[in-house]
Copies of this chain bind each other. A is one copy, B any other.
Amino acid sequence: MTVKIKDILKHNSLSITGSRQKILELFLSKNGALSHADIEKKTGESFDRVTVYRTLQTFVERGIIHHIPTTDNSIKYALCKNDCAPGHHHDNHVHFICDECSKTICLEDVIIPSVKLPKGFTPQHSEMVVTGVCGECR
């Protein structure tokens, strides 16, 4: 487990530091998405707020985690399961937000359908969020 974490960091030519290991561990242990605030809570007082921000930024840049759109306009992050390379994420799956437990879940297998746009519009990227009740809360 710890080995895996270090491997991911090395793989992305990032130095192995306490904060990076801890935050990455958090993402690996939870399978939902995490907000900045979630991470701050769960890491306790271990790290500075600023460090968390910067670590998340770095992870997004390297393609280790990706942004998740939410309906309430808060920022959440989740692990990139697929082969995301630095710079281009393959993040074309639907995200689900549970109204009960308010967890955000990546539905890796549900790809975003394409829609027919009015004349003149050229699509480049789509995001889709579905809210409702998840399996565990039913």
Which residues of A line the B interface, CB within 8 A? 67, 69-71, 73-75, 94, 96, 99, 107, 109-110, 112-113, 115-136, 138
Contact = CB atoms under 8 A, between A and B. Distances in A.
A69 B95 CA distance: 13
A107 B113 contact: no
Nearest to A124: B132
A115 B121 contact: no
Given A128-B128, A129-B127, A122 B138 contact: yes
Given A94-B117, A107-B117, 20 more contacts: A69-B71, A69-B129, A73-B73, A73-B75, A110-B116, A112-B128, A113-B113, A118-B135, A120-B138, A121-B130, A121-B133, A122-B133, A122-B138, A124-B130, A124-B131, A125-B130, A125-B132, A126-B131, A127-B128, A127-B130
A120 B70 CA distance: 21
Contacts of A130: 115, 117, 121, 123-127
Contacts of A120: 134-136, 138
Contacts of A74: 73
Contacts of A125: 71, 130-132
Contacts of A107: 117-118, 121
